[in-house]
Amino acid sequence: MPYRTVVSGAKIIAPKTGNGLWSMKTEKQYKELTIKEFTKAADKYESDHAGIYEICKEDYPYISSELEKEEYHDLLDCGCGTGPMISLLYEKDPSKHYTGLDLTPKMIEVGRSKNLSGVDWVVGDCENLPFEENSFDVIICSNSFHHYPNPQRFFDSVKRVLRPGGRLILQDYTAPKPILWLMNHTEMPMANMIGHGDVAARSLDEIKTFCDAAGLKVEKLNRAKKMRLHLVARKIQ
Ligand SMILES: C[S@@+](CC[C@H](N)C(=O)[O-])C[C@H]1O[C@@H](n2cnc3c(N)ncnc32)[C@H](O)[C@@H]1O
């Protein structure tokens, strides 16, 4: 694992493409920052004045169009926030079983307050999904992945809880490697300084490596407009 070092018994995140040494944080510190950031954002997250988070809305149609390509019943939204994707999907088809999971209790509280019948809302960590093996037909994850200090654990966990044949549809940031290096050594540490929990954006090569190591088959992996990362990966068995 290229990104793991141990200092004083704590795991320190030092990804080759991640934050610079001057800004190294422990896994716990990144996750605390994330919770702090999204506790503040929760009440306005789905409003028209959500600031930087409004860009997330641009990904929802892409995720919906990928989802429509195959039948499914049990869907997990990893890092669902207040559940904007779940609301859209529920509006179209309330008969499916939707589960939203997020690290920030306040985001889940706002999602749950929508009172969408049959939807499960779970406070939890995408790096250690609290579900039985083979629980979901499809897992979506949008604009959450760059907050994960241990990305391999996320992919391993996804592989475990997906059913054979099930898909992971993931949207996040990426860029050509030199730009990625700059982002991860300037933008991300600055975001940390203003109380945001960003860890690192990953290259397409890294994503492929994580999927291969987890045993997920990459079916689509590309960089789209506005530095968007599109991934569709499948659990074969
Ligand atoms: C920018 S929001 C995206 C919300 C939603 N997926 C969307 O596209 O609008 C990122 C969310 O990821 C969540 N998150 C970050 N790290 C997480 C982790 N390790 N496990 C679960 N959720 C996490 C944050 O709490 C936050 O709600």
Distance 103 CA to ligand 1 centre (A): 7
127 pocket-lining for ligand 1 (C-beta < 6 Å): yes
> What's the CA-to-centroid distance between 101 and ligand 1, angstroms?
8
Measured in Å, residue 173 CA sits from the centre of ligand 1 at 13
- Ordered by start, the domain boundaries in the chain are 6-235
pTM: 0.91
pLDDT of res. 51: 82
Looking at ligand 1, which atom is closest to the CA of residue 149?
19
Whether pLDDT at 14 is above 90 = no
Mutate to test the pocket of ligand 1, among 102, 114, 121, 146 (most ligand atoms within 8 A of CB): 102
What pLDDT does 22 receive?
53
pLDDT tens digits along 79-138: 999 999 999 999 999 999 999 999 999 999 999 999 999 999 999 999 999 999 999 999
Q: Which atom of ligand 1 is nearest to the CA of 60?
A: 8
Q: What pLDDT does residue 16 have?
A: 40
Percent of the chain with pLDDT over 70: 90
State the Cα torsion 44-49-50-52 to the nearest 10°.
-160
Pocket test for ligand 1, best of 33, 99, 141, 147 (most atoms within 8 A of CB): 147
Closest C-alpha residue for ligand 1 atom 14: 79
pLDDT per position as a tens digit, 38-92:
999 999 999 888 888 888 898 999 999 999 999 999 999 999 999 999 999 999 9
19 CA → ligand 1 middle, Å: 19
Tens-place pLDDT, residues 141-200:
999 999 999 999 999 999 999 999 999 999 999 999 999 999 999 999 999 999 999 999
Report domain 6-235's class.
Answer: alpha beta
Query: From the CA of 227, how far away is ligand 1's center (Å)?
Result: 18
